[in-house]
């Protein structure tokens, strides 16, 4: 199994030091945010970043209309050693800005974007390609066939559940709350607590570190939650929370029976 933490740190170092020029970055909202001015200065080779950005937004109407969403003012160190609010963006936002920069230095980024975009279109036209890509990735990381089957089944069930949540009035920000209900009552821990036990970085998927039984139990909890939603015709976050609590308790009961059968107390564990 690969060292995902090391992979991420390596990627960030490359982005933060481009041709020996530093790009300021800060950790915010569970992600790296980079100084927009630093990246624009390096890729455009301009002496007046403010003016370049102004012209950039004038040329690209779509970028200009989404500028407030892409940019987040965050405190970063300045040349005088003080800390001031600088416009920053996450990787997705930075890549969007790079698309509008006319510079040979931006071409490698644009080519990468084109490749990813083409792959995404292919997957939309043929969803089986996305499944195959996921299976191939997990196989390369050394997961067993039974684990991969469980994981892919869980992804499918998870998508059905989040679709159900959306139809019943839950917002995307509510998904973590509802998931925590299942984890808390099913495993006895929230996702954050499980992540801390395993020692994961914020962007690593906690389910990629579940055992076969943990995955099966999670699948049971989420499938049960969906069926309870349908039976109760639940609407809104509070009713959905009650359903997920019930599903978590059912999951807990199943876990207890498994533990008794195996005559040992299991905890959330690596694959």
> How far is the C-alpha of 179 from the C-alpha of 23, rounded, in Å?
36
- CB contact at 8 A, 112 and 71: no
Residue range 172-189: average pLDDT?
95
Q: Is 248 helix (H, G, I), strand (E, B) or coil?
A: helix
d(CA 56, CA 63): 8
pLDDT of res. 12: 37
Q: Please give the pLDDT value at position 163.
A: 94
Residue 95 confidence (pLDDT) above 90: no
Average pLDDT over residues 23-45: 85
Mean pLDDT of 120-132: 71
- The percentage of the chain sitting over the pLDDT mark of 90, rounded to a whole number, equals 52
Quickly state the pLDDT bin for 270 (edges 50, 70, 90): very low
For residues 158-179, average pLDDT? 94
- Name the token pair of 13: 């170092």
Average pLDDT, the chain: 83
Task: Evaluate whether 136 touches 119 at the Cβ level (below 8 Å).
Answer: no
Q: What is the mean pLDDT of residues 243-253?
A: 97
For the stretch 233-246, pLDDT in tens is 999 999 999 999 99
- What pLDDT does residue 45 have? 82
d(CA 62, CA 80): 35
The answer to whether 143 and 151 have CB atoms below 8 angstroms apart is yes
The confidence band for 116, taking pLDDT boundaries of 50, 70 and 90, is low
Q: Which two tokens stand for residue 163?
A: 């679709």
Residue 7: pLDDT band (50, 70, 90) is very low
The mean pLDDT value for 240-262 works out to 95
Supply the pLDDT for residue 110.
Answer: 63
pLDDT in tens, 205-225: 899 999 999 999 999 999 999
Please tell me what DSSP assigns to residue 265: -
Asked if pLDDT for residue 98 goes beyond 80, the answer is yes
């Amino acid at each position: 199994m690969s060292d995902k933490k090391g992979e991420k740190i390596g990627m960030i170092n490359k982005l933060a030091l481009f041709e020996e020029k530093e790009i300021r970055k800060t950790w915010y909202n569970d992600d790296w945010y980079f100084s927009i001015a630093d990246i624009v200065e390096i890729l455009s080779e301009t002496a007046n970043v403010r003016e370049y950005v102004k012209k950039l937004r004038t040329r690209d109407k779509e970028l200009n209309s989404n500028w407030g969403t892409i940019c987040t003012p965050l405190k970063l160190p300045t040349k005088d050693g003080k800390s001031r609010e600088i416009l920053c963006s996450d990787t997705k936002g930075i890549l969007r800005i790079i698309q509008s920069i006319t510079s040979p230095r931006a071409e490698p980024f644009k080519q990468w974007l084109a490749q990813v975009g083409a792959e995404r279109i292919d997957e939309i036209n043929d969803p089986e390609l996305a499944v195959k890509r996921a299976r191939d990735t997990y196989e390369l990381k050394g997961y067993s066939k039974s684990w991969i089957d469980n994981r892919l089944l869980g992804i499918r069930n998870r998508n059905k559940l989040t679709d159900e949540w959306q139809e019943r009035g839950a917002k995307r920000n509510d998904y973590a709350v509802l998931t925590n209900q299942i984890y808390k009552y099913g495993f006895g821990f929230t996702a954050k607590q499980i992540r801390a036990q395993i020692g994961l970085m914020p962007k690593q998927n906690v389910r990629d570190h579940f055992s076969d039984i943990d995955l099966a139990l999670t699948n049971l909890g989420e499938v049960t939650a969906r069926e309870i939603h349908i039976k109760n015709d639940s609407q809104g976050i509070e009713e959905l929370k009650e359903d997920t609590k019930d599903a978590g308790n059912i999951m807990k009961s199943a876990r207890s029976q498994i533990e008794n059968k195996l005559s040992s107390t299991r905890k959330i564990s690596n694959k």
